[in-house]
Chain A
């Protein structure tokens, strides 16, 4: 009950943030965004036709009025149709799952493998396995995502390389074809995340390992495995949770943009990018509000998880 109350209060407190995100996005993407008038008109339009289309799109109204209209449509979940004529909700229902199953394997593997490498590095701190892992992590951090994608494509998909997977495209109709299409993007995503994640996890673990209470526990003669699990890892959970939670919005909405446009995969990142380029207001409206709400939800969930792992944290 306490948690529910807290969550509701936090969600209310998130309203200014949602308002801010919609305001910035409206100003950038709609008010100063591309003008759709001429893409809706046929050849040689008359001045009356131009005026009429501009009126339909709301271009002749002042900023504040257009913004309030934008907000009203978001609040009533009235997103309308994309410029292709497809309902926006249908478009999102089609593209978001694609992005999720595309990006999730790499996201999870990046965190899991990064954590394992960090544990190994922290365990042998200062000795050669640590130095090797950290050197490789810096190398991983220094390669551009784009280069990784192209390199993996050359090695795994091109006729000069192993030629194991399709070069581009997407087909998730069966598990087998899903696996063949998702492998190269997953490997690339994981490779790029590994350097950052390993360094992050190691620095948190090492910081906790050098605390006084750990030394005390050791002096009491507690078994090393118990110290590791209960005195070190448990204290690492808060930064770990924060890290993972706050990467969720990026992963769910924007993170897959590069992969999607490179491999030509019809995900939500690509759909949003195309909407920005063409000034497709309904799609932008939906994606922007979704992003803002997701972000606020993540913040609230993050605080509740803190409470779950650390009893000293009070929800007030």
Chain B
């Protein structure tokens, strides 16, 4: 039995190779993709350390004087009131992961379920209603919508997350709707119908799992969008309220930059650029690896 369950050796590249195994093989051969994945994992480790309290706990403490240069004590120097910039930048990594993960997971899940229902019942009232919701959310400019949600939910620390989720699910929803319209006409769905499987079961057991490659790519794209939006929203004053983030650091640094002190600005922007760049590269590599039309 054991021998049967063993994966086929790579050399035989079986005809029945699953989408995921093939994708893993293609991804493994993508040098830039692998390098980017390692970088993302490094950032994730930094974030994990913050959550577990290993480092960067002193991001809010006054440990030095104003605008100290880079030293052994302060790796990136200190900011305008003497806080350690390195600690703040690392702590912000955890914030970025928190925002990115929550927004990406929830909005992808909502987009998947609503998109699948719209697609499965395409042409029906449910579909019309969901399409109307998507149209309405698309029509309101993003930053104004977020600002409105932030003020409607004043005092709620999740206002920014909720606003992003409420808009980011639409893209995924539309993609999944299109894919499900293709899938629902296939024979195995017809077969499931004919043996009396309920519609909800068909959607969750037979249709949604077949869109998971799209969902993975969408989730990684949403992760990046959320991190980028957080920086701009925090700068506008409608983002992170308690804690520290790259957006707040950049906001802080706009005064320093005009006075010729760049450490704060550079630390936040370079760290953010590294993560977003690596994640974009991973998303691209994933997309290539999961695209069945691309041979490899």
Count how many pairs of residues, one from A and one from B, have CB atoms less than 8 Å apart in the complex. Answer: 127
Asked whether any CB of chain A lies closer than 8 Å to the CB of B211, the reply is no
Asked whether any CB of chain B lies closer than 8 Å to the CB of A292, the reply is yes
Mostly, the B contact residues are: helix
Asked whether any CB of chain B lies closer than 8 Å to the CB of A273, the reply is yes
A258 partner residues in chain B, CB cutoff 8 A: 143, 232, 235-236
- B contact residues, range: 35 or more
A138 partner residues in chain B, CB cutoff 8 A: 277, 280-281, 284
* Cα-based distance from A249 to B136 in the complex (angstroms): 13
* Cα-based distance from A292 to B228 in the complex (angstroms): 26
A158 partner residues in chain B, CB cutoff 8 A: 257-258, 260
Task: Please tell me if the beta carbons of B143 and A254 are within 8 angstroms of each other in the complex.
Answer: yes
User: Assuming A24-B140, A257-B143, A277-B147, is B228 touching A144 (CB within 8 A)?
Assistant: yes
* Cα-based distance from A34 to B149 in the complex (angstroms): 11
A273 partner residues in chain B, CB cutoff 8 A: 143-144, 147, 236
A279 partner residues in chain B, CB cutoff 8 A: 151
User: Assuming A141-B280, A146-B235, A167-B258, is B141 touching A250 (CB within 8 A)?
Assistant: yes
* Cα-based distance from A153 to B255 in the complex (angstroms): 12
A147 partner residues in chain B, CB cutoff 8 A: 231, 250, 269, 272-273
Cβ of B277 to closest chain A Cβ, rounded Å: 4
Closest residue of chain A to B278 (Cβ to Cβ) is: A142
Task: Please tell me if the beta carbons of B151 and A17 are within 8 angstroms of each other in the complex.
Answer: no
- A contact residues, range: 35 or more
A269 partner residues in chain B, CB cutoff 8 A: 143-144
Asked whether any CB of chain B lies closer than 8 Å to the CB of A33, the reply is yes
Task: Please tell me if the beta carbons of B231 and A144 are within 8 angstroms of each other in the complex.
Answer: yes
Task: Please tell me if the beta carbons of B148 and A28 are within 8 angstroms of each other in the complex.
Answer: yes
Cβ of A158 to closest chain B Cβ, rounded Å: 7
Cβ of B4 to closest chain A Cβ, rounded Å: 40
Cβ of A170 to closest chain B Cβ, rounded Å: 18
Cβ of B240 to closest chain A Cβ, rounded Å: 14
* Cα-based distance from A134 to B144 in the complex (angstroms): 32
Asked whether any CB of chain B lies closer than 8 Å to the CB of A25, the reply is yes
Known: A146-B235, A292-B139, A295-B139. 13 other contacts (CB 8 A): A17-B136, A28-B152, A29-B151, A34-B151, A34-B154, A144-B232, A145-B228, A147-B231, A253-B144, A257-B236, A273-B147, A273-B236, A277-B151
- The 6 A-B residue pairs whose C-beta atoms are closest, nearest first, are A254-B141, A20-B136, A32-B152, A142-B277, A295-B139, A28-B148
List chain B positions with a Cβ less than 8 A from chain A: 132-133, 135-145, 147-149, 151-154, 228, 231-232, 235-236, 247, 250, 253-254, 257-258, 260, 262, 265, 269, 272-273, 276-277, 280-281, 284
